[in-house]
């Protein structure tokens, strides 16, 4: 009997949306305003693009890769702090020719772990233009990590100054309390950089 060849494949999970992607889409829609819309690719396994942002006035588009996170309470001196750990990203996927922006989701309890009564969650988004993220990897990640081609990120709010930092596998060891990395404040909730690209 002659084997049949599959020529077409039915789209599946069309209505199955990732919660982090929905959260980012909602945030972008609110931040960018009525002239902008956010779309999801039909192919839920599309390797580079999770969201497409569209300017309805000039018809320009830009693409976004969303990276979800888990939060961990780090017990350290002089103060405990929450860190957001993200799944490792294949270095080849940090490609400015395939996607314009990376947005990392970060979710933290508002109060210390000691306060068991509070269940409030604060969230924010770390926004990198892909070319800038690639530059950042080559500048700050250690050679062993780069050679493995699997890059991990970990963002946290430094408790003493309230600014955003990233401290996972740097090129040089450092004292996070006395000699922290340069802050990434310009990436924090930065929807403006996306809007600028669409203008």
Spatial separation of the C-alpha atoms in residues 123 and 106, rounded to whole Å? 6
Question: pLDDT of 96-113, one tens digit each?
Answer: 999 999 999 988 776 555
Q: 45 or 77, which is more confident?
A: 45
Give the pLDDT confidence score for residue 17 in this predicted structure.
Answer: 76
Other C-beta atoms within 10 Å of 102: how many? 24
Range with top average pLDDT, 34-43, 76-85, 112-121: 34-43
Highest-pLDDT range among 16-25, 59-68, 154-163, 176-185:
59-68
Q: Give CA–CA dist 120/66, Å, rounded.
A: 23
Distance of alpha carbon 170 from alpha carbon 144, whole angstroms: 10
Higher pLDDT, 67 or 167: 67
pTM over 0.85: no
CB 17 within 8 A of CB 28: no
pLDDT in tens, 19-76: 899 999 999 999 999 999 999 988 777 789 999 999 999 999 999 999 988 877 777 6
Number of H helices, E strands in the chain: 4, 11
């Amino acid at each position: 009997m002659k084997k049949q060849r599959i020529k077409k494949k039915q789209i599946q999970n069309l209505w199955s949306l990732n919660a982090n992607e929905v959260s980012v889409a909602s945030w972008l829609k609110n931040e960018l305003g009525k002239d902008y819309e956010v779309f999801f690719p039909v192919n839920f396994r599309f390797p580079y693009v999770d969201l497409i942002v569209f300017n309805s006035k000039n018809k320009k588009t830009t693409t976004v890769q969303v990276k979800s996170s888990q939060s961990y309470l780090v017990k350290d001196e002089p103060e405990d702090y929450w860190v957001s750990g993200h799944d490792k990203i294949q270095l080849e996927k940090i490609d400015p020719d395939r996607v314009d922006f990376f947005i990392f989701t970060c979710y933290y309890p508002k109060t210390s772990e000691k306060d068991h009564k509070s269940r409030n969650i604060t969230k924010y988004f770390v926004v990198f233009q892909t070319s800038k993220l690639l530059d950042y990897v080559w500048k700050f990640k250690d050679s062993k990590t780069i050679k493995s081609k699997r890059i991990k990120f970990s963002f946290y709010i430094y408790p003493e100054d309230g600014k955003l930092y990233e401290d996972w596998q740097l090129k040089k060891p450092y004292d996070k309390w006395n000699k922290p990395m340069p802050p990434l404040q310009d990436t924090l909730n930065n929807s403006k950089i996306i809007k600028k690209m669409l203008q």
